[in-house]
């Protein structure tokens, strides 16, 4: 990491190759399949390169958590920009995945993807970090700049919404 911190391209490339998988996974689950995922992933690593000199490896955050935190914040910012853009557009469909929609998608995995993407912010980011990246509540709280209790509540509420959405769809 020291070499990457000094800006050596080979070390930076190794860092990208090591962490690109979790970063893409996080962004894909947060934003859904879209061309924007790669843009956000690229912006994540460019920001990692810029801010790496200030990262404290002996601090509380692991490098992986720190990188995922950057990706999360970029994703949330992108979502907010999209929300602003969509204010003048028709209302989005209801959050619940209907049985018909489930049949159309023909698979539980697609239904989960739809239900996760329908979760409102900030529940979605908290859930993705907890369920798919095994981050502790404290790490989620740091990434989302909220208290641990709030992070727990967000994950819990996200799970409840998913239970409702998926339970209804799969009943």
Partner 1 sequence: MTEDELDQILETYEVPEPPAGFADRVMAAAHPRPARRWSATSWGVLAAAAVLALALALVGLWPTRPVTGALHARRRTEVTLGARGVAVAENGARLRWTVDGTRAEIEQSEGDVFYRVSPGQPFVVRTPEGDVRVRGTCFRVEVLEMNVSPQLFAGAAAGALVAGAVVVSVYEGEVAVQNEHGEVSVEAGERSVIEPSRAPSEPSDAPASLARRPRDPQTEAARDETPATRGIDEMDAPALRARLRSVAARSRERAHEVERLRGLLDDAELADPGRSRFFPASPADLRRWADACQLRLDQPPVMGIEPGRVGEHAETLELDPAEARAVQDAIERAHSSLTEDLRALYVEATGDVDGAAALSPRAMLAEIRDKAGTAEQHRNVMHRIARERAGLERPPPADAELSPSERAVRRYARVGDEFQERLARALGPERARELRARDEGWPWARSIFAGCDDD
Q: Where do contacts with partner 1 occur on this chain (CB under 8 A)? A: 9, 12-13, 16-17, 20-21, 23-25, 28-29, 33, 38, 41-42, 45-46, 49, 56, 59-62, 65, 107-109, 112-113, 116, 131-132, 134, 136-139, 141-142, 145-150, 152-153, 155-157, 159-160, 162-163, 166-167, 170
Q: Please, which residue, 41 or 129, has the CB nearer to partner 1? A: 41
Q: Please, which residue, 70 or 90, has the CB nearer to partner 1? A: 70
| Residue 61: partners with Cβ closer than 8 Å, 6 or more residues away | 55, 69, 139, 142
Taking the C-alpha atoms of 20, 67, 120 and 87 in order, what is their torsion angle to the nearest 10 degrees? -90
* Shortest distance in whole angstroms from residue 89 CB to partner 1: 22
* Shortest distance in whole angstroms from residue 134 CB to partner 1: 8
Question: Which two three-digit tokens encode residue 57?
Answer: 């490896």
Distance CA 109, CA 62 (A): 30
Please compute Rg for the chain using Cα positions. 17
Q: Please, which residue, 20 or 79, has the CB nearer to partner 1? A: 20
Q: Please, which residue, 43 or 79, has the CB nearer to partner 1? A: 43
Judge contact between 105 and 96, C-beta under 8 A. no
């Amino acid at each position: 990491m020291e070499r990457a911190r000094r800006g050596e391209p080979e070390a930076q490339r190794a860092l990208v190759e090591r962490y690109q998988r979790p970063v893409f996974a996080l962004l894909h689950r947060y934003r859904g399949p879209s061309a924007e995922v790669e843009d956000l992933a690229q912006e994540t690593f460019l920001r990692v390169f810029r801010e790496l000199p200030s990262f404290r490896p002996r601090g509380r955050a692991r490098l992986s958590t720190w990188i995922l935190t950057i990706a999360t914040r970029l994703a949330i910012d992108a979502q907010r920009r999209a929300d602003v853009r969509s204010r003048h557009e028709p209302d989005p469909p209801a959050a619940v995945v209907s049985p018909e929609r489930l049949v159309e998608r023909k698979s539980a995995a697609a239904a989960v993807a739809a239900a996760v993407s329908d979760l409102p912010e900030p529940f979605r980011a908290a859930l993705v970090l907890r369920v798919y990246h095994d981050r502790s509540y404290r790490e989620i709280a740091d990434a989302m700049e909220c208290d641990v209790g709030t992070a727990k509540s967000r994950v819990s509420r996200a799970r409840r919404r998913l239970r409702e959405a998926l339970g209804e769809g799969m009943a």
